[in-house]
Amino acid sequence: MAEVFGTVSGALSVAALFNNCVDCFEYIQLGRHFGRDFERCQLKLDIAKIRLSRWGKAVAINDDPRFATNTPDDRDSRQVQAILEEIELLFQTVQKSSKRYEIDARKDDLVRFEDKDMQPVVRELHSRLGVVARQRQKRTGLLAKAAWALYDGKNFDRLVEQITGFVDDLEKLFPVETTRRGLVELEIEEVDDEPSLMALQDAAAGTDSVLSEAVTEKIEGIAGRNYAKDINSEGMARVRIGNEWSETAFTRGTGIADRTVNLADSVAAKGTSAVHIGNQYGGRGIFN
């Protein structure tokens, strides 16, 4: 068995293994090579973490006696144990790959993003998801882990994709769909502005279908409707259908629950005209 900060993972109960796996997400940082994708990638990690924690909460992993041992009797619990050990091993493997990269990398290539580098909308989501995940944990009692970094997209994709697959397997063993859906609703209960929901929707794609569906439904419930039946544009004319969020709105993290309806039967735009069917937030937009 792999060693976890001086403790042999095989000596941990199934519940302790679970808590350790969720805890591993806390110590990952992203290198500067992620550039503009940094925020989206960080949210993807957060969503992978929240999805794993959601499953654990749904099956009461910290309260069910069958998960309180390192030698479970039933087949399904042994399968859960094996999957969690694979998740733990995946973290260790990717971490070792990063350490190998650090040996020959230039100092500038080892700079890491920090929470303060996030825009307020993403930083608030990151904090919110982290709080929810921690509330679903019991601390393992192991020594604090050292922070480490992912430096390239290949290892990032590998980590997220494989963890997504492992959680798929856990959910097949113990589906508890109704409970998981209820937990998702609680996760996004306080997220009620369109920019935050859109950021979640984008990051959840391909990682957490239940969260993605819930967010999409919430967006449809608050985002109103912008529609044009017929559009005819000529020359340099521009037509925009949908709400417009300036960079200022995202930077300030303005929460706006927009339920307006903007409809047009037909639009004829000519010359250098600009037509916007929707709302604009945060000052100057693409037509200014």
Three state DSSP letters for 203-263 = HHCCCCHHHHHHHHHHHHHHCCEEEEEEEEECCCCEEEECCEECHHHHHHCCCCCCCCEEE
| Average per-residue pLDDT for the chain | 86
CA distances from 258 to 16, 220, 225, 248 (A): 43, 10, 9, 17
Distance from CA of residue 61 to its chain's centroid?
Answer: 22
* Topology, domain 3-222: Four Helix Bundle (Hemerythrin (Met), subunit A) (1.20.120)
Confidence tier at 5 by pLDDT (50, 70, 90):
very low
Lowest mean pLDDT: which of 11-20, 143-152, 274-283?
274-283
User: What is the pairing mode between strands 274-277 and 238-241?
Assistant: parallel
pLDDT tens digits along 137-193: 886 555 567 899 999 999 999 999 999 999 999 999 999 999 999 999 999 999 988
pLDDT tens digits along 194-242: 899 999 999 999 999 999 999 999 988 875 566 555 777 777 767 776 6
Confidence tier at 266 by pLDDT (50, 70, 90):
confident
Q: How many CA atoms within 13 Å lie on the side-chain side of 93? A: 12
User: What is the pairing mode between strands 148-150 and 280-281?
Assistant: unpaired
The residue type of 32 is R
Residues 215, 196: Cα–Cα separation, whole Å? 10
What ranges do the domains of the chain cover?
Answer: 3-222, 225-281
pTM: 0.78
pLDDT tens digits along 54-76: 999 999 999 999 999 999 999 99
Q: Residue 2: what pLDDT?
A: 44
